[in-house]
Amino acid sequence: MSPQVLETVDRVIDKYHKDKSMLIPILQDIQREYNYLPREALLRVKDKLNVPLPQIYAVATFYKAFSLKPRGKHTIYVCMGTACHVRGSPKILEEIQRKLDIKPGETTPDLNFTLETVNCLGACALGPLVVVDGNYFARVTPVQVEKILNKYKER
Amino acid sequence: MVKLVIDGKEVEVEEGLSVLEAAKRIGVKIPTLCYHPAVSAYGACRVCTVEVIRKGWSRLTAACTYPVQDGIEVKTNSEKVIKARRLIIEMLLARCPNVKAIQELAREMGLDKVRFPQEDKECILCGLCVRVCSEVIGANAIGFASRGLERKVTTPFEIEPDTCIGCGACAVVCPTGAIKIEDIEDKRKIDMWSRKLERVRCERCGRYFFTKAMVDYVKARNEKIEKLQEFLNLCPDCRREILKDKLRVTKETTTLHRT
Amino acid sequence: MSKKIKSLKELEELRKEGLKSLYPDKPRIMIGMATCGLASGANEVFEALNTKVRENRIDIKIVPTGCLGYCQIEPLVDVFKPGWPRIIYQKMNGEKVIKLLESLTRESIWKDSILARLDRDELLIFGKTKKYDIQGELSGVIDDIPLLQEIPFYCKQFRIASRNCGFIDPTNVIEYVARGGYYSLFKVLSQYEPDQVIEEIIKSGLRGRGGGGFPTGKKWLYCRQAKGNVKYVICNADEGDPGAYMDRSILEGDPHSILEGMIIGAYAIGAREGYIYVRNEYPLAVKHISIAIKQAEEYGLLGEDILGSGFSFSIRVNRGGGAFVCGESTALMASLEGRVGEPRAKHIHTVESGLWEKPTNLNNVETWANVPVIIARGADWYSKIGTEGSKGTKIFSLVGKINNTGLAEVPMGITLREIIFDIGGGIPGGKKFKAVQTGGPSGGCIPENFLDLPVDFDALTKVGSMMGSGGMIVMDEDTCMVDVAKYFLTFLKDESCGKCTSCREGIKQMLEILNRITQGEGKEEDIELLEELSEVVKSTSLCALGGTAPNPVLTTIRYFRDEYEAHIKDKKCPARVCRDLITYTIDQEKCTGCTRCARECPQEAIVGERRKPHRILQEKCVKCGICYETCKFDAIKVE
């Protein structure tokens, strides 16, 4: 296990006072740090928190916030809330899928984009909504998809 | 003590029992799949659905997790119950068409047609294996992963779990036979967990019996009991032989009690 | 030196400080910067204003505020200047706000993009009105500006839970105190016994605003009566119903109202620890509630020895992990314990055995936000609002095919028609109303003939739906109701924890049938089978997610059976939504051959010569709709 990972994980666990019930916030901090949950990090959590590994694995795979595989540099969130759906978000999602050749939950091979659907971001006046890196794109139409993607392809 | 009525029969039991357990006491049979007396009740399969009438309100619920209450009336075979139970089993049969236990339940319910597209799974996600590994054995080698339709029983990272001692308790409690233990000579294989273990020979008769991991596991937890150490190097049959003279112990009395 | 408040006098001092902040002797410009405001460009407005103000060293206060509710016309900018009425501007941008600033520095009211004016502030906690001191000369200039209360979106509203949203800086506790914040807490700690507090809440008739509608006072009573010294209080901020965002609005715009409510509740129940469980997808809400907790602790309004009363209570914020099912109370508690969000059957209620098997009282954000008002104005006053069985107000999120998208808080008993057509302004594009979905995935679709039903906890259940958390998704003639049912089941399929057979397999099979129907492979027996599945899933699921999952299917079959039959028998989608049942063609009369659509088509499915009518190659067409959007001659037909 790399010492850097061990150190980071230990720091996070100490921040939460080695409290087993704080497993989810602990994993959230680790996820934020590495953009995914590395296996060795989870093994370290098992050792230091004294939580059985199956429980950690269950939590890591149950919640959408966690990923066991590295996430892309830019995460594209397509809101699939009812209001956005009624305004045509499925077409937006399809267009993005076509352009990037990945399905929701997947990451492009060059690790640039991860596509995720999200259930209602609460900005329903602006639907269909697409959020990339915290930037909101409102009233998106399928035609605009390419432009939005190009913004992040160059970076 | 709590008084309730099950299928017209009055029964009085201690507080804390489930309706399923109370029904057993008076010989009323309710079908189950995810229930086993050795582990906690879970309420996942819904096969033990019964009708409970309380304060004039009727509802369907799982008997294994519904606590007995004073004055309730339970119907295990009303029309509502049969209709629900039949559909639940139909869905399970669609998922696992080749599992004997489910085929048997389907036969009992008079189910001859499955109106849903068929898969070919064996696991019904009852969780008995997970619970026995955690609550009884304490090895904590397996668990659930993902949710919804992706939910499955697996090992962490879906690789061979080094905490699995190969005791086979999971296979014993599995109602569908999805977990298979393969014993060939000095090896034990549990494919479901990609687990391969070594077995040890009995010091007395020379046959392979438990896995080395099992023996080590029990020894480690009972270090202080010296007599146990030598006992663990013998297979169950040889142990019985040795004890027979001392305690008049027979095979019947040492068989694991199963309902 | 300690800032901790230990007396009414000190609270008053803090209020005076807050009043100076709310009504300074120089201009104060508020910009709606809740998530909805930010999403529509409020940051650009803020930056532009900030830059100009710093450059020219103009002496004005710029304050980010929460959501006023009228999301359709955001970004909203609110200007207060001593001697003026408050003026609220709509649909602002960086350019416009500079023009506004220029007028302001020239002491003249910028007349462009005005939404409304306010000539007074309603201080709900005190039951008082604060009138603005308006210069006499202005009367000619401002008379043509409507008052906020006169605008259709606002005239039927009565903001109780959202009383401070859009009026204060949510990251500054003194402004919350200025408008009466923490006075109710003080009243409770200095004058009430815990039982009296519970009595008051019971008398008020307050019912849970998260969707369950359980009488709040009763819940508190059961929790108080439960055995044990350790008890917990939880705020469920896991708002998961798609289309509902009122909780987020309160968390971002008035976080202290939730804290105050929780502290009062904890006192009444006898809890010393509380949790706020916020959905993972709400980072701004998490930020604001965390700041609020810190500030409240600084002022001795939370933590040890609150307000010098001897009562101690602390709150922790936990973020969800991205699971709708964690909005269910037992799953939420499992999540707080570090486990997966699997619900358990509630034969033993959580008020008796909840978090860590201790008595736990869980309430929704909006429920907590109502508490300080009930204490301040009394149960009698509160119970006069609303209907017989549903007292008080409810915040509704009006979204979908509606002109005025936003959040509206109205007394319960108002009709669906009033909400959708008076407040909501009706359907855009002159389209016809078809249905309104209420109650999220647990609710149902309500058709036109029920528009005059009053909205409260009980009236909508009679027609197969429910009020739920207040989400109202309006649908028009271009919405396919079978597609709506499919949508909700798809949502629930991904959110089901998967533990019980009924929900997991039931939803799967129902969805499979709906998929076939929308793909033109429906069978005659399908509707009956859907109804049979619905019954069993409803009655045998372990928790309410599965227990209410069939509702959207049942209501759409009940009220829009003809659409199902059109899909199954005629293989047609009347609303022209279901991809496999529609065709895109080019009207040969209207097409000018401009080739625009051909160039935009991602499948290169459109062929034709320049200036001659084009046509779509059906075998290549994937029905993405890009040509429809692109065509300027209305030549693309969808059938």
For C283-319, write each residue's pLDDT tens digit: 999 999 999 999 999 999 999 999 999 999 999 999 9
Cβ of C85: how many Cβ atoms within 10 Å?
24
**Residues 6 or more apart in contact with residue A150 via CB below 8 angstroms:** none
CA dihedral (C159, C279, A125, C85) positive or negative: positive
**Residues 6 or more apart in contact with residue C490 via CB below 8 angstroms:** C511
- Domain C393-476: CATH class, spelled out: alpha beta
All domains of chain B in start order, with CATH: 2-108 (3.10.20.740), 128-247 (no CATH)
Rg value, chain C, Cα: 27
The amino acid occupying position B70 is D
Nearest to B143 among A39, A42, A58 (CB): A58
Put simply, whether B131 touches C (Cβ < 8 Å) is: no
* A-chain residues near C600 (CB < 8 A): 143
| CA C457 – CA C466 distance, rounded (Å) | 7
Same domain as A143, residue A81: yes
Q: Residue C1's pLDDT is what? A: 63
**Residues 6 or more apart in contact with residue B198 via CB below 8 angstroms:** B186, B187, B188, B211, B212, B213
The answer on pLDDT for B257 being more than 80 is no
Same domain as A86, residue A56: no
How many domains does chain A fold into? Answer: 2
Q: Residue B144's pLDDT is what? A: 98
CB B1 within 8 A of CB B47: no
* C-chain residues near B65 (CB < 8 A): 344-345, 347
Q: Which of C111, C169, C120 is nearest to C148 (CA)?
A: C120
* B-chain residues near A52 (CB < 8 A): 134, 140, 143
CB B171 within 8 A of CB B181: yes
Q: Of the CATH numbers 3.40.50.20, 3.30.1300.10, 3.30.70.20, 3.30.470.30, which one belongs to the domain with range C583-638?
A: 3.30.70.20
Same domain as A58, residue A100: no
Is B47–C345 a contact, with Cβ atoms under 8 angstroms apart? no
pLDDT class for C135, splitting at 50, 70, 90? confident
Put simply, whether C151 touches B (Cβ < 8 Å) is: no
Tell me, yes or no, whether A7 lies in a domain: yes
Dump the DSSP string for C373-420.
Answer: HHHHH-HHHHHTSB-SSSBSEEEEEEEES-SS-EEEEEETT-BHHIII
Nearest to C348 among B44, B67, B148 (CB): B67
3-state DSSP call for residue C315? strand
CB C177 within 8 A of CB C21: no
C115, containing H or E segment:
strand C114-118
Cβ of C68: how many Cβ atoms within 10 Å?
29
| CA A18 – CA C494 distance, rounded (Å) | 32
pLDDT class for C138, splitting at 50, 70, 90? confident
* B-chain residues near C512 (CB < 8 A): 116-117
Tell me, yes or no, whether A67 lies in a domain: no
Put simply, whether A138 touches C (Cβ < 8 Å) is: yes
| Least Cα separation, residue B44 to chain A (angstroms) | 17
Q: Which of C1-5, C542-546, C554-558 has the lowest mean pLDDT?
A: C1-5
CB A127 within 8 A of CB A83: yes
Q: What angle do CA B221, B227, B230 make, to 5 degrees?
A: 85
Q: Which of C46, C239, C278, C248 is nearest to C165 (CA)?
A: C248
* C-chain residues near B31 (CB < 8 A): none
How are strands ordered across the β-sheet holding C406-411?
C406-411, C393-400, C471-476, C433-438, C444-447
The tokens for C577 are 């939504």
Same domain as A33, residue A93: no
Cis omega (within 30 of 0) for bond into A128 = yes
Last residue of a domain, one of A39, A62, A85: A62
What mean pLDDT value characterizes chain C? 95
The amino acid occupying position C119 is D
According to CATH, the topology of domain C182-383 is Rossmann fold (3.40.50)
Q: Bridge partners of C319?
A: C278
Residue with tokens 């009336």: B73
Is B143–A39 a contact, with Cβ atoms under 8 angstroms apart? no
3-state DSSP call for residue C606? strand
For C18-63, write each residue's pLDDT tens digit: 999 999 999 999 999 999 899 889 999 999 999 999 999 999 999 9
| Least Cα separation, residue C543 to chain A (angstroms) | 17
Q: What part of A 58-77 touches C (C-beta under 8 Å)?
A: 58-59, 62-66
Same domain as A134, residue A93: yes
Same domain as A90, residue A47: no
Measured between alpha carbons, how far is residue C25 from residues C19, C61, C80, C81, C385 in Å?
11, 10, 10, 8, 37
The phi, psi pair for A13, rounded to 5°, reads -65, -35
Put simply, whether B144 touches A (Cβ < 8 Å) is: yes
Chains that touch A (3 or more CB pairs under 8 A): B, C
**How far does CA C560 lie from the centroid of its chain?**
27
| Among B125, B149, B150, B157, the residue to mutate for chain A (most A Cβ within 10 A) | B157
Put simply, whether B145 touches A (Cβ < 8 Å) is: yes
The answer on pLDDT for B232 being more than 90 is no
**How far does CA C183 lie from the centroid of its chain?**
26
Q: Residue B259's pLDDT is what? A: 33
Chains that touch C (3 or more CB pairs under 8 A): A, B
Q: Which of B64-68, B231-235, C297-301, C525-529 has the lowest mean pLDDT?
A: B231-235
Measured between alpha carbons, how far is residue C407 from residues A4, A28, A130, A133, C465 in Å?
47, 31, 21, 26, 20
Q: Which of A88, A138, A143, A95 is nearest to A115 (CA)?
A: A95
The amino acid occupying position C436 is V
Is C479–A88 a contact, with Cβ atoms under 8 angstroms apart? no
Residue with tokens 């991860």: A114
Q: Bridge partners of B188?
A: B183, B197
Length of chain B equals 259
Cis omega (within 30 of 0) for bond into A3 = no
For C326-385, write each residue's pLDDT tens digit: 999 999 999 999 999 999 988 899 999 999 999 999 999 999 999 999 999 999 999 999
pLDDT cut 90: percent of chain C above it = 90
Tell me, yes or no, whether A113 lies in a domain: yes
Exposure on the CB side of residue C615, measured as CA atoms within 13 A: 4
Measured between alpha carbons, how far is residue A116 from residues A101, A108, C257, C490 in Å?
13, 12, 33, 15
Same domain as A90, residue A149: yes
Same domain as A141, residue A105: yes
The tokens for A119 are 């259930």
CB A25 within 8 A of CB A67: no
Considering the domain C22-147 in this protein, what is its CATH number?
A: 3.40.30.10
Measured between alpha carbons, how far is residue A13 from residues A17, A26, C273, C334, C338 in Å?
6, 6, 22, 20, 13
Same domain as A132, residue A85: yes
Pairing verdict, β A74-79 and A113-118: parallel
Same domain as A141, residue A78: yes
Q: Bridge partners of C237?
A: C278
| Among A39, A49, A57, A103, the residue to mutate for chain B (most B Cβ within 10 A) | A57
The amino acid occupying position B23 is A
For B148-203, write each residue's pLDDT tens digit: 999 999 999 999 999 999 999 999 999 999 999 999 999 999 999 999 999 999 99
Q: Residue B255's pLDDT is what? A: 52
Q: Bridge partners of B143?
A: B154
> Which burial class, exposed, middle or buried, applies to B49 when counting CB atoms under 10 A from its CB (0-12, 13-18, 19+)?
buried
Pairing verdict, β C232-237 and C273-278: parallel
Residue with tokens 């294994």: B64
Q: Using the 8-state DSSP alphabet, how is residue C306 labeled?
A: G
According to CATH, the topology of domain C481-570 is de novo design (two linked rop proteins) (1.20.1440)
Put simply, whether C348 touches B (Cβ < 8 Å) is: yes
The answer on pLDDT for A137 being more than 60 is yes
CATH of the domain at A88: 3.40.30.10
Is C323–B95 a contact, with Cβ atoms under 8 angstroms apart? no
Question: What ipTM was assigned to the predicted interfaces of this complex?
Answer: 0.92
The tokens for C386 are 């609303």
Dump the DSSP string for C491-547.
Answer: HHHHH----SHHHHHHHHHHHHHHHHHHTT---TTHHHHHHHHHHHHHHH-SSHHHH
pLDDT class for B252, splitting at 50, 70, 90? low
The number of C-beta contacts closer than 8 angstroms across A and C is 155
* B-chain residues near A62 (CB < 8 A): 145-147
The tokens for B235 are 């297979």
Put simply, whether B4 touches C (Cβ < 8 Å) is: no
Q: Which domain holds residue A9?
A: 3-62
> Which burial class, exposed, middle or buried, applies to C625 when counting CB atoms under 10 A from its CB (0-12, 13-18, 19+)?
buried
* A-chain residues near C341 (CB < 8 A): 62-63
Nearest to A28 among C243, C319, C479 (CB): C319
Q: How far apart are the first and last CA of chain A?
A: 32
CB C472 within 8 A of CB C396: yes
Put simply, whether B49 touches A (Cβ < 8 Å) is: no
Measured between alpha carbons, how far is residue C590 from residues C165, C607, C613, C618 in Å?
50, 16, 8, 19
The answer on pLDDT for C630 being more than 90 is no
Same domain as A80, residue A58: no
Domain ranges for chain C, please list them.
22-147, 182-383, 393-476, 481-570, 583-638
For A24-83, write each residue's pLDDT tens digit: 999 999 999 998 999 999 999 999 999 999 999 999 999 999 999 999 989 999 998 888
Phi-psi region of B161 (alpha: psi -120 to 50; beta: other; left: phi over 0): beta
> Which burial class, exposed, middle or buried, applies to C193 when counting CB atoms under 10 A from its CB (0-12, 13-18, 19+)?
exposed
CB C40 within 8 A of CB A138: yes
User: C248: nearest CA in chain A?
Assistant: A122
Which of the pair, B49 or B229, is modelled with greater confidence? B49
Put simply, whether A83 touches C (Cβ < 8 Å) is: yes
C52, containing H or E segment:
helix C42-55
Q: Residue B251's pLDDT is what? A: 57
3-class SS string, C236-259: EECCCCCCCCHHHHHHHHCHHHHH
The tokens for A17 are 């006072």
